[in-house]
Amino acid sequence: MNLTQLKYFAAIARNRSFSRAASELHVAQPALSRHMRDLETELDGALFVRHQKGVELTELGRLMLERAEYQLQSFQQMREDIIARSVTPSGLLRIGCPPALTKSLLAGPVLTLLRTYPKISIEVREGISDQLAREVFGDALDIAIASQISSPPHLSAEKLFREEIWLFAPRKAHLPERITPKVLNAVPLVLPRKGNVIRDLLTNYASRAGLVLTPIVETDSTQLLEQLIGAGIGYAIVPKSSLFAKTGRAKLQGLPIPGLYVERCLIRRKDLPESRAVREFAGLVRAAVASGVSPLAG
């Protein structure tokens, strides 16, 4: 078994046809067939079921495809990584970040990376943590700064810092010195949608007190949260960074909820080698957190 055979096999599986795969690879079909016969002989099993319209994978073929794609991706990443170590890093780095952390944590590392490696281009996508984690998992992002998630296959979450969860209220509202579950249950709440990491934390927090929090509005929009609070309509429970900068000049105030935190992490694929650009960016983010650039840690 060799890399060429894996490449040929993956192309046939993707096209479901020897002829289409041969055309894509610019290889004669008889040569392609010979490689597959040799591979099936070595594995002592059929990889394809042939029919008039093309081929379908056998159970052995499906297992083989999963492993082959991983090996091909690893080889390509290894090639790019070795090249990246020998020359100035270049190419596109795709980064995800919650809107509230873009200015306070992301901007500095991005500027440093661009100044140090001018051949790198950067794409930044803002979104909620769950969405960003899915995009890293789906290979739409290379790395993301996000809240800690449950550990699905192929994802790692490197902890950066712990951030307080705050209750933000209209400026004229009377807030007690200490926020408790009973306080939260007595005010009109604007909460993140179900499935959001923060919403899950709140659900568990209230459940331990024997309460169920019922929001008047569910949204992941920080802008809408600010408008609803400023209009005196509701109270929001979100990470400190989401609205803390607005408390000085907007029509809102806030207090931390004791014992309620979210872990902010670097989310990456752990089953694929890292590019140099990803490593450099991760190092800059760690350095920013360690130097106290972000005042958000609880």
Dump pLDDT digits (tens) for 70-115: 888 888 777 776 765 655 677 889 999 988 888 889 999 999 999 9
Q: Are 260 and 204 in contact (CB under 8 A)?
A: no
Confidence band, pLDDT 50/70/90 cuts, at residue 265:
very high
Strand partners, 262: 163
Radius of gyration of the chain from its Cα atoms, rounded to whole angstroms: 25
Return the pLDDT at 152: 63
Domain range annotation of the chain: 3-86, 91-161+264-290, 162-263
Span 138-176, pLDDT tens digits: 889 999 999 876 656 678 899 999 999 999 999 888 889
Distance CA 48, CA 60 (A): 9
Give the per-residue pLDDT at 79.
75
Predicted pLDDT of residue 292: 75
In this structure, the number of other CB atoms found within 10 A of the CB of residue 137 comes to: 16
- Which run of H or of E encompasses 97? strand 91-97
Q: What is the mean pLDDT of residues 49-61?
A: 89
**Of 9-13, 89-93, 107-111, 218-222, the least confident:** 89-93
Which phi and psi angles does 160 have, rounded to 5°?
Answer: -105, -55
User: Could you write out the DSSP letters of every residue in 2-60?
Assistant: -HHHHHHHHHHHHHT-HHHHHHHHT--HHHHHHHHHHHHHHHTS--EEEETTEEEE-HH
pLDDT value at residue 297: 43
Q: What value does the mean pLDDT take over residues 183-206? A: 88
Q: How far is CA 96 from CA 40, 43, 131, 253, in A?
A: 42, 42, 9, 28
pLDDT at 52: 82
On the question of a common fold for 3-86 and 91-161+264-290, the answer reads: no
Q: Rounded distance, CA 196 to CA 128, Å?
A: 8
Q: Dihedral sign, CA of 6, 7, 13, 17?
A: negative
* 259 alpha-carbon distance from chain centroid: 26
Q: Which pLDDT score is estimated for 257? A: 93
Mean pLDDT of 115-137: 90
**255 vs 297: which has the higher pLDDT:** 255
Mean residue pLDDT of the chain comes to 87
Q: What tokens does 209 get?
A: 């007190």
CA 33 – CA 30 distance, rounded (Å): 5
Instruction: Give me the mean pLDDT over the 2-23 stretch.
Output: 90
Closest by CA to 170, choosing from 235, 225, 218, is: 235
What dotted CATH number matches 3-86? 1.10.10.10
Count of beta carbons in the 10 Å neighbourhood of residue 254:
23
Which architecture characterizes domain 162-263 according to CATH?
A: 3-Layer(aba) Sandwich (3.40)
Of 26, 220, 212, nearest to 128 by C-alpha is 220
Reported as type and span, the H/E element at residue 89 is: none
* Confidence at residue 250, expressed as pLDDT on a 0 to 100 scale: 64
Mean pLDDT, rounded, for 22-36: 90
Q: Is 121 left (phi over 0), alpha (psi -120 to 50) or beta?
A: beta
DSSP, collapsed to helix, strand or coil, labels residue 229 as helix
% of the chain residues with pLDDT over 70: 93
Alpha-carbon gap, residue 243 to 236, rounded angstroms: 9
Predicted pLDDT of residue 264:
92
151 or 7, which is more confident: 7
- Helix (H) / strand (E) element for 17: namely none
- Residue 59: pLDDT band by 50, 70, 90 thresholds? very high
CA–CA separation, 163 and 292 (whole Å): 13
239: alpha, beta or left? (left if phi > 0; alpha if psi -120 to 50): beta
Which of 3.60.15.10, 3.30.1490.100, 3.40.190.10, 3.40.50.300 is the CATH number of 91-161+264-290?
A: 3.40.190.10
Q: pLDDT at residue 295 above 50?
A: no
Q: Residue 251's pLDDT band (boundaries 50, 70, 90)?
A: confident
Q: Is 266 exposed, middle or buried (0-12, 13-18, 19+ CB in 10 A)?
A: buried
